[in-house]
């Protein structure tokens, strides 16, 4: 069987690549892109069969740009994966923990390792555009006394050494990624549905929308709102719920939501990731 | 009466200063800060009596950092104001629209004026850290053929000229700001309430939470969710609704929400801004 190509944002070795391997195995062919918009475009144009994008992190919150891109592009969610974010200190010989003076990484990763820097006050934090990109830069430039904070995959991709693992302050640091494709695919074991909808701007509209799930004892797992551009103070609502669109209960709930909403789209039905 | 000091994020002439003037008048004393965290801290420490922070924009969405800071700091929302975001092309003599070659501004402002740049393809967009800050920089350095995109207030503060107004692509571009204080203040005419709560992680909890408002015909105007740090896949919910906390109907709704939620805080009760 042909190996599927997966587009993601960031350099080779990004946490998205680690998530792609966790979901699809190590033989996946990857297509790194500079921006999330380019990641979606790679699937729309057929350059990649899939893309994998982060949608929420348990510390930083939702990746709102990707919620907007889900609505703008007609791609389908076909899978999800949760990745524990483990920050590793990565360097090249002769750099050691003792000779360390500078650490490069994305500002969010640096901020998530504040305890390490508090314990090593002589080590300077240097913000860089990307976690894996900072390992790549060290591989190219060979700066003495410098290391990067990035994924285990980044160390493997650039043949670097992990000087220390678990630099992150909080172990409860997970990122949820979505796998998107041009074609919808609903497996019998799919047990999660994502939808986006908007309602007329009348009192109680959101409550009525949620009632279609509550009245059928359908469990919601996530709700997000984003502005409806051109209609100030109105919103799109994104909902994830447990079920399969082929079950009668879910079909009825979606038909019921269709009566209340003035816009409704199913973004995908897929297997819920292990938590 | 003493003039109140208001802290805000950005340079003198920022859209936040324009919003502060709209809400409190032109004689307000301003305290610009580098970060939103510093803005909140200025009120907590007593350095400023108030701060004014953007909470949502009708095109870009919520300012999530300020939602998190509302929870982390025990400040009270005492007023809100909606500001139409009008982007002005601002320069210093001898720069004119004809001699223009470079435009500096915050990346979001540059992106919101894409039609202007499409019509003037020889004009280069240069991302800068701040809208008003780019006017300040031009005032200091006097770059020939350069202008900035910023508020009308920024032009006034730095004694610059408005070369062209309404550069923004969408007229429906509004930012909602909140005025925060260390002391709560509920006026009889206050007609909007903001709360934050979390619920036990059980099916139907969000639906039940919204029912306390729907059953009393209380209108919700905004809902936002943010991750509950340390408890993966659980969320804080922020709600705005129409009412006054002294009305019986609202008191009952909040008491009812208190039965369902495992955490509840009223962030403020204030007068709803004109829309």
Residue of B55, B57, B58, B211 for testing the chain A interface, max A β-carbons within 10 Å: B58
pLDDT at B265: 98
Q: Is the peptide bond before B94 cis (omega within 30 degrees of 0)?
A: yes
The mean pLDDT value for B247-270 works out to 97
Residue A42 reports pLDDT greater than 90:
yes
* Residue A215 Cα distances to A80, A116, B69, angstroms: 27, 49, 35
Q: Which residues pair with B198 in a beta bridge?
A: B263
Which letter, b or e, does each residue of B172-209 get, where b requires 16 or more Cβ atoms within 10 Å of its Cβ? bbbbbbbbbbbeeebeeebebbbbbbbbeeebbbbbbb
d(CA B114, CA B149): 12
Q: In this structure, are residues A195 and A173 in contact, taking their beta carbons and an 8 Å threshold?
A: no
pLDDT at A56: 96
Cβ-based neighbours of A248, under 8 Å, separated by 6 or more: none
Name the pTM for this structure. 0.92
- A210 and B213: CB-CB below 8 Å? no
Q: What is the pLDDT of residues B203-244, one digit of tens each?
A: 899 999 999 999 999 999 999 999 998 899 999 999 999 999
Lowest mean pLDDT among A31-35, A270-274, B12-16, B19-23: A270-274
Q: In the predicted model, what is the mean pLDDT of chain A?
A: 94
CATH node for B192-270:
3.30.70.260
| Run of H or E including B40 | helix B36-44
* Domains B5-84+174-181 and B192-270 equal at CATH topology level: no
Whether A206 has its CB under 8 Å from any CB of chain B: the answer is yes
Point out the residues of B that are catalytic: 175, 177
Q: Which of B56, B213, B229 sits opposite A59 (nearest CB)?
A: B229
Q: In the predicted model, what is the mean pLDDT of chain B?
A: 94
- Name the closest residue on chain A to residue B169, using Cα atoms: A230
Locate B263 and state its tokens: 């955490």
The mean pLDDT value for B28-49 works out to 96
- Please check whether the domain covering B5-84+174-181 is classified as CATH 3.90.700.10: no
Please state, as a whole number, how many other Cβ atoms lie within 10 Å of the Cβ of residue A275: 9
Point out the residues of A that are catalytic: 175, 177
Phi, psi at residue A167, to the nearest 5°?
Answer: -80, -15
Cβ-based neighbours of B165, under 8 Å, separated by 6 or more: B86, B88, B89, B152
Whether B217 has its CB under 8 Å from any CB of chain A: the answer is yes
CA-only gyration radius of chain B, Å: 21
Domain ranges of chain B: 5-84+174-181, 88-164, 192-270
The DSSP symbol for A271 reads P
**DSSP result, B147-182:** EEEE-HHHHHHTT-EEEE----S-S--EEEEEEEES
- Give strand ranges (E) for chain A: 5-9, 29-33, 50-57, 61-62, 76-84, 88-91, 102-105, 124-127, 146-150, 161-164, 174-181, 192-198, 220-227, 235-242, 263-270
Q: In this structure, are residues A195 and A213 in contact, taking their beta carbons and an 8 Å threshold?
A: no
Q: What is the pLDDT of residues B160-191, one digit of tens each?
A: 999 999 999 999 999 999 999 999 988 889 99
How many interface pairs between A and B have CB atoms less than 8 angstroms apart? Answer: 92
Cβ-based neighbours of B25, under 8 Å, separated by 6 or more: none
Residue B96 reports pLDDT greater than 60:
yes
Please state, as a whole number, how many other Cβ atoms lie within 10 Å of the Cβ of residue A202: 9
Residue A239 Ramachandran class (φ > 0 left, ψ -120 to 50 alpha, else beta):
beta
Fold of B88-164: D-Maltodextrin-Binding Protein; domain 2 (3.40.190)
Q: How many angstroms away from the CA of A95 is the closest CA of chain B?
A: 34
Q: What is the pLDDT of residues A154-201, one digit of tens each?
A: 999 999 999 999 999 999 999 999 999 999 988 889 999 999 999 998
- B172 and A203: CB-CB below 8 Å? no
Domain at A5-85+173-181, CATH class = alpha beta
Q: What is the pLDDT of residues A62-94, one digit of tens each?
A: 999 999 999 999 999 999 999 999 999 999 999
- A227 and B275: CB-CB below 8 Å? no
d(CA A150, CA A109): 8
Residue of A58, A63, A114, A241 for testing the chain B interface, max B β-carbons within 10 Å: A58
d(CA A134, CA A148): 6
Q: Are strands B50-57 and B174-181 parallel, antiparallel or unpaired?
A: antiparallel
Residue A216 reports pLDDT greater than 90:
yes
Residue A34 reports pLDDT greater than 60:
yes
d(CA A39, CA A56): 17
Whether A108 has its CB under 8 Å from any CB of chain B: the answer is no
- A227 and B64: CB-CB below 8 Å? no
Which letter, b or e, does each residue of A145-156 get, where b requires 16 or more Cβ atoms within 10 Å of its Cβ? ebbbbbbbbbbb
The mean pLDDT value for B62-76 works out to 95
Whether B108 has its CB under 8 Å from any CB of chain A: the answer is no
> In the sheet that B88-91 helps form, which strands lie side by side, from edge to edge?
B124-127, B102-105, B146-150, B88-91, B161-164
- B233 and A61: CB-CB below 8 Å? no
CA-only gyration radius of chain A, Å: 21
- Name the closest residue on chain A to residue B214, using Cα atoms: A204
Phi, psi at residue B206, to the nearest 5°?
Answer: -70, -40
Nearest Cα to B271, choosing from B188, B208, B203, B212? B188
The mean pLDDT value for B190-195 works out to 97
Whether B129 has its CB under 8 Å from any CB of chain A: the answer is no
Q: Tokens 């009308």 sit at which residue? A: B152
| Run of H or E including B5 | strand B5-9
Residue B127 reports pLDDT greater than 60:
yes
Which letter, b or e, does each residue of B219-238 get, where b requires 16 or more Cβ atoms within 10 Å of its Cβ? ebbbbbbbbbbeebeebbbb
Locate A226 and state its tokens: 């984003």
- A204 and B224: CB-CB below 8 Å? no
Residue A245 reports pLDDT greater than 90:
yes
d(CA B186, CA A103): 49
Q: In this structure, are residues B146 and B102 in contact, taking their beta carbons and an 8 Å threshold?
A: yes
């Amino acid at each position: 069987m042909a190996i599927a190509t997966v587009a993601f944002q960031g350099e080779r070795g990004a946490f998205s690549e680690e998530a792609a391997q966790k979901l699809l195995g190590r033989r996946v062919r990857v297509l790194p892109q500079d921006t999330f918009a380019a990641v979606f475009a790679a699937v729309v144009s057929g350059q990649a069969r899939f893309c994998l994008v982060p949608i929420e992190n348990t510390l930083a919150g939702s990746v709102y740009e990707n919620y907007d891109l889900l609505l703008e592009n007609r791609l389908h969610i076909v899978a999800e994966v949760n990745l524990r974010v483990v920050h590793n200190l990565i360097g090249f010989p002769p750099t050691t923990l003792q000779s360390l003076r500078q650490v490069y990484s994305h500002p969010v990763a640096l901020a998530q390792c504040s305890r390490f820097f508090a314990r090593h006050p002589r080590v300077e934090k240097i913000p860089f555009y990307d976690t894996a990109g900072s390992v790549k830069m060290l591989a190219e430039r060979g700066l003495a006394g410098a290391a990067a904070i990035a994924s285990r995959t980044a160390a493997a991709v650039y043949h670097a050494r992990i000087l220390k693992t678990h630099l992150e302050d909080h172990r409860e640091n997970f990122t949820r990624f979505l796998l998107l494709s041009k074609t919808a695919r609903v497996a019998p074991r799919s047990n999660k549905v994502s939808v986006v909808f908007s309602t007329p701007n009348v009192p109680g509209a959101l409550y009525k929308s949620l009632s279609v799930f509550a009245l059928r004892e359908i469990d919601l797992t996530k709700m997000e709102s984003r502005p409806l551009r051109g209609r100030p103070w109105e919103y799109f609502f994104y909902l994830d719920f447990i079920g399969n669109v082929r079950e009668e209960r879910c079909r009825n709930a979606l038909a019921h939501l269709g009566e209340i909403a003035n816009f409704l789209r199913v973004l995908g039905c897929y297997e819920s990731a292990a938590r």
